[in-house]
Amino acid sequence: MANEFLPFALPDVSDDEIAEVVDTLRSGWLTFGPKSQAFEVEFAKAMGAEHAVGLNSCTAGLHLALLAAGIGPGDEVITTPLTFAATANVIVHADATPVLADICADDMNIDPASVAAKLTSRTRAIMPVHYAGQPCRMDELVEIARAHNLIVIEDAAHAAGASYKGRPVGSIGDATAFSFYAIKNMTTGEGGMLTTNNPEIAEKARMLRKHGLSTDAWKRYTAAGSAHYEVTMPGFNYAMTDVQAALGRGQLQRLPGFNQRRGEIVARYDAALASMPEIETPTARDDVDHVWHLYAVRLNLETLRIDRDAFVAKLRELGIGTSLHFIPIHYHAYYREGFGWKKGDFPVVEDTYDRLISLPLYTRLTDADVDRVIAAVQGVVEENRR
C-alpha cells in the first residue's frame, strides 16, 4: 500500500531456518556446541580462511583480534571516522589509542594516503572498515602494514561474501571480524565471526571468548567431558550459541543469493537516480565484488533548498524509512572531548556526512517497493530543487 511504512531494513529468514532453530531448541544443547563448530568450519571455507571463531558479535571479534595480536597500552590503531562507534570503542577497550584517518571521496573507505600520514612510532595496527560492503584498497593498506610491521584487522561487518581482486574478504588481513546482526546481509539475530589464517590468533581468540577457559572446556557437559577446567587467561563471555549457529548455517548457504538480489536492487536504484544531478549515487570499484549492505547516496545540497535531515523527514512523511551510516566518530562527545578531535579535522568525512542517506536495501524488497522508494526520492527532489 502506498501509505504503508516501508522500513529501512528487514531480515530474510526461511521456514527451513526456523525449523533448524526449533530443532536446536528441542535438542537440549543451546549454547556453544556442535552446530557452532560446524558453522565455524563452513564459514571459514566460504571466506577462504584457515580458521573461524564463532562469537556473539562483530564487536567481540574486533576486540579479541586486538588482544590476540598483543595490542594494548601505549599502542595506536588507525581506523576511519566513518564507522559505527564499536570500531573505535574496541580500541579503547584494549587500552590502546584510536587514530583516525580520512576517507576516499569515491567509495567512502579509509584513504591509504591518509593512513600513511598518521603513522607514528606507536602505531601497531590498521583497522580498515569495508564500508557498505565494498572492500577497502587492501593492497595499499597491507603494503603500508608490512613496511612498518603492523597488524591488519579488517572490520567486515558489512562485507560477508565480498572479495577484493578475487580474494575473499576474510582471507586478506591478519584477522577479519564479521557481523550477523539482524539487518546484515546474513543474520543470526545477534552474532559474529572472526576469521584468520594465523593459528596463534585463532587459538587465543577461542580461549578469550569463553572466560579464558582451556579450548576444550565446552565438552565438560558431554559424555566425553570432565567437570575439571582451567582458566588460562582472564577472558570474556563472547561465545556464539548453537541457536544462533542453527540460523547462521542456513543463512550462509543463501548468502550468494542474498547478495545477488541486493545487486539487482542497486541496479534498479542506479538506473533511476544516477542521472539526477541532485543525487550522488554510490560507486563500485572495478577491482572488487561489492555486496551492497548499504545503498548510501549523497545529496548535492547546492542543488536543493533543504538539508539532509529535512530530506529524510520528507521521505518519512511519504512512508519511506532511511538510516544514516554513520555519525562520524569524532562527532561523538566521548571522542570529541577525550581525544581533542574537532570539526575540520577530516574534511572528506565531514562533507560526506552532511549529505549522506541510506535508502532501503534488503532482499524482501519487491521491485514495486523499490519503485516506490525511487518515486519518493524523485518527488522530494522535484519539490525542493533550486
| Active site residue ranges | 184
Give the rounded distance of the alpha carbon of 142 from its chain centre: 19
- For 13-47, the DSSP string reads --HHHHHHHHHHHHHT--SSSHHHHHHHHHHHHHT
Strands (E), 157-219: 163-164, 167-168, 175-179, 192-196
Q: How many CA atoms lie within 13 A of 337 on its CB side?
A: 3
Are 56 and 238 in contact by the 8 Å Cβ rule? The answer is yes
Alpha-carbon span 191 to 102, nearest angstrom = 29
CA angle (195, 198, 202) in 5-degree steps: 60
In angstroms, the CA 266 to CA 258 distance is: 13
Question: DSSP character for 163?
Answer: E
Name the pairing type of β-strands 151-156 and 175-179. Answer: parallel
362 neighbors 9 (Cβ within 8 angstroms): yes
- C-alpha dist (Å) from residue 71 to 56, 94, 125: 21, 7, 8
